[in-house]
Structure 1
Amino acid sequence: MNKKVSDLSKKEGDDGDFVVVVVRQHPTLDEPKALDVLPDELEKFVPIGDLVMLEIQQPDGTKKDVAMRLADFNKLAPNMDQVLKEARKTRGRVPGTRVGNGNG
């Protein structure tokens, strides 16, 4: 087996012992990066609670990922559960559009 070293602690282990943690967004990164981490080091990654992950799509086509606490997201509309239930899906046709070439 190949040996690997933890990116966090520099502890050595077998290749199959490691977990990969992908850093998708960070202020100093312009692309995702992968960290090799031993399972017992995962306890250092403390979640901050219920999050809502958003993708903001600007009219010019640029996109930005945003994470918000669920409680703050729910404050954006009086009945956010209903707003989400009635929102259009991201795949398929936009509600109210018709399939066809317009000739018939």
Structure 2
Amino acid sequence: MGQKIIRFSDLTGKHAEDDGDLVRIVVRQHPDLEDGPVEIEALAGELTELQELALDLVTIELHHPDADEPETVVLEADAFDRLASAAPMAEVLRTAKRVARTVPSQATAPGGVRERVNYASLEHAGKPHKGRTTDAEKQLVQQHLDEINERLAAEGIRTIDLANAEHVARYGLETLAQDRGTTLA
């Protein structure tokens, strides 16, 4: 006996005829969001007005001399632009000093040595990476899929989808997908 998975938009409840019509949305900040980022899905057609509704926002950090941590402020771009009176904000930004970016995945240990990430640990298993997926990582993902997907979603990283043939093959999840009645896309 086969099973069919029917998917719906979390926003409107409308049926998705094709999984390719669904857009994954990660909500990182919202007044009603209590325990970190969440993931919802919506039909692509439901999001057409999104660009028109979007606000031009600026996120800035205020580094006060007497504070240990910077204060983050989000405001509309027009309000921020009005702060510049000596020259237009575009010119102020163009001539401003660059800030070095820090990328968490490229963090270095003391002495400039890059630390290797152990994907065969519960802390990192299932994260996308270019290297070979070891048997140890596969086993962890097979045994702790739901826990790993919760962590990945909380970190805003793509989750491991049993309907995704590439994910199933990478982590050896064929049996689990079959046990859960998932049809591969």
TM-score normalised by the chain length of structure 2: 0.41
- Per the alignment, do residues 61 and 32 of structure 1 end up closer, same or farther by CA in structure 2, a change over 3 Å counting? same
* Aligned match for 2:53, one of 34, 40, 47: 47
- After the TM superposition, list the runs of 4 or more consecutive aligned residues in structure 1 that deviate by more than 4 angstroms: none
Work out which structure has the larger RCO, using CA pairs closer than 8 Å and 6 or more positions apart in sequence.
2
The residue type equivalent to 2:26 in the other structure is: V
Q: Give the paired residue count.
A: 90
Partner Cα distance (2:6, 2:82) in 1: 49
| Superposition map of 1:58-77 within 5 A | 58=63, 59-61=67-69, 64=72, 66-68=74-76, 70-77=77-84
Other structure's SS at 1:5 match: coil
Identity %: 32
- Per the alignment, do residues 85 and 44 of structure 1 end up closer, same or farther by CA in structure 2, a change over 3 Å counting? closer
Structure number with the higher helix fraction is 2
Query: Which string of whole-angstrom CA distances, capped at 9 and with x for unpartnered residues, describes residues 15-60 of structure 1?
Result: 22201222222112242222200011113534245x1331425542
TM-score normalised by the chain length of structure 1: 0.65
Structure 2 unaligned residues grouped into runs of 5+: 102-185
Do the aligned residues in 1 keep the contact of 2:58 with 2:80 (CA within 8 Å)? no
Do the aligned residues in 2 keep the contact of 1:53 with 1:66 (CA within 8 Å)? yes
Q: CA RMSD in A?
A: 2.6
Other structure's SS at 2:48 match: helix
